[in-house]
Amino acid sequence: MANFFFLLLTTCLFLTHISGQTIAPPPPPTAATTPAALPAAAQEFLDAHNKARAEVGVGPLKWSPMLAKETSLLVRYQRNKQNCNFANLTSGKYGGNQLWASGMAVTPRMAVDNWVAEKKFYNYANNSCVGDHKCGVYTQVVWKESLELGCAQATCSNGPSTLTICFYNPPGNVIGEKPY
């Protein structure tokens, strides 16, 4: 492993309230099926999210196999066609967080912890970030109206670099609203 690394993160913002345009409502959460043990990576993504949510009194997310499949298709596309670069999430119907990392292996927990690390820049009282910081990745993690989560990771040989993407349904980061 290289002795240096880079991390970049990004989220998408939803403009439903300031643009005034009508958008299709997000698909309803999928019906519960028989409980089965989640894959280890899924459980790790879920636990890391739900810990951060519990810390601010927000209920847990549920793992969505449908969202997991969507993120899996997307990270594989980014790996195979886009050198593991960030996906363009701006036209998606789900909330999305991404983490790109180079020079280090990234576990699901590390990815989520990097998003949650932006919490220190977030000021709940006026719902903004200090200075030039961005904390939308954090507010998406703890967005109360988001109920379902699906995530996937892909590794490219360049670097090596890793791309992690999570989708949230319904989407968070609605402009002008507080996360909880």
Ligand X SMILES: *[C@@H]1O[C@H](CO)[C@@H](O)[C@H](O)[C@H]1NC(C)=O
The residue ranges that bind ligand X (CB under 6 A) are 88, 90-91, 123, 125-126, 128, 130
Minimum CB separation of residue 108 from ligand X in Å reads 26
Distance CA(68)–CA(116), nearest Å, equals 20
Are the CB atoms for 116 and 10 separated by under 8 Å?
Answer: no
Distance CA 116, CA 110 (A): 10
User: Nearest distance from residue 174's CB to ligand X, in Å?
Assistant: 17
Instruction: Give every CB contact of residue 59 below 8 A, 6+ residues apart in sequence.
Output: 53, 144
- Give the nearer residue to ligand X in terms of CB position, either 24 or 125: 125
43 vs 123 by CB, closer to ligand X: 123
Bridge partners, 95 (sequence order): 168
Pairing of strands 62-63, 148-156: parallel
Q: Which is nearer to ligand X, 30 or 88 (CB)?
A: 88
Cβ proximity to ligand X, 85 vs 155, nearer residue? 85
d(CA 100, CA 180): 27
